[in-house]
Amino acid sequence: MQTLRTLSNFLFVASLAFLIAACSSLRLEEVDYGWPVETVLKVDQDNKVSDGRYAIAFTVSPIAQEEFNDPFALAGHQLRLLRNSDGFYFVTGTGFKNVYVFEPGPKELRLTNKIVVSQEGLKHPALNLRSPYVELIDDGNFRIQMTNDDIVEDSTRLAEGGK
């Protein structure tokens, strides 16, 4: 009898705790973070970029170090930035061999993926939002569609015969 009572009390408390926890985590689903168009940012001499429309600013030296082994390699150059529907930031630029995928956190962007897109380096890249994918195009017929994890479609270069 005592055991039964203890068990029922325990269940009651557990249910109550669960209920309280459930009430405190309001969730909005199917949020679309996607930017309709990429933003092209010029890197200043302090190695920083900032965008007025989307109100985002960060330093690019870690990216430059990762990509070019030189933290100042991007100073005075352009960086292309696009946010996909899931909220991940895709970053690339002229001369890049990779597309960097970042996840936003409190006062930080954490690298979640580094997608190899070119062996020679991109010439005139552009990022397009093609939900649910992000499309990377470059000179000629270069076209890649990506998620934040990987490439899902890679159109062949006709000149290279479908690699």
Instruction: Say if CB 69 and CB 88 are below 8 A apart.
Output: no
* Amino acid present at 81: L
- Residue 143 CB, nearest distance to another protein (Å)? 5
Nearer to another protein, 62 or 143 (CB): 143
CB of 101 to another protein, least distance (A): 19
Residues 84 and 33: beta-carbon distance below 8 Å? yes
Phi, psi of 15 (to 5 degrees): -65, -40
Return the number of the residue (111 or 137) whose C-beta is nearest another protein: 137
Strand pairing class (48-51; 56-59): antiparallel
Kindly state the DSSP code that residue 159 receives in the 8-state scheme. Answer: G
Minimum distance of another protein from residue 157's CB (angstroms): 10
Name the residue nearer to another protein (CB basis): 80 or 91.
80
Which helix (H) or strand (E) covers residue 89, if one does?
Answer: strand 89-92
User: Under the rule (CB under 8 A), what is the footprint of another protein?
Assistant: 36-38, 40, 80, 126-129, 137, 140-143, 155, 158
Which residue, 6 or 141, has its beta carbon nearer to another protein? 141
